[in-house]
Structure 1
């Protein structure tokens, strides 16, 4: 997907690296209205072709909601 814009999460600070790898789950705004792209942890759960389920920390979703003006 082209033109993703990070709105929450992203590179972790050394004092807040919940992921332990320097790159935390991230929420991106997309060019498609109403759609967000999510970078997160793989989970094993059956999904239709082309779909995934990812885990992200709750605080990242709250940050994304604030960035979108929802909170």
Structure 2
């Protein structure tokens, strides 16, 4: 699988960041959600899955670019 950088809200280009794959999916790079109360709200987390927190602004910006 290959990744293409879509964008980040970090001025340094670090995380959180979003990538598009050559399989038509999106990869999220960010800090793992470790807050126990928040993790308890997740549903159907499978082995090997985790959750990351992403600012709404990043999703909106990338959606504008990808859907334009």
Q: Greater share of helix residues, 1 or 2?
A: 2
1:41 equivalent in alignment to 2:31: yes
Q: Under a length normalisation based on structure 1, what TM-score does the superposition of the two structures give?
A: 0.68
CA RMSD of aligned residues (A): 2.2
Runs of 5+ unmatched residues, structure 1:
14-21
1:23 aligned residue: 14
The count of aligned residue pairs is 60
**Alpha carbons 2:5, 2:20 under 8 Å: kept:** yes
| Structure 1 runs (4+) greater than 4 angstroms displaced | none
Superposed CA offset, 1:4-57 (max 9, x none): 1111207524xxxxxxxx623001000112x10001121132621121111011
**Alpha carbons 1:27, 1:38 under 8 Å: kept:** yes
Runs of 5+ unmatched residues, structure 2:
none
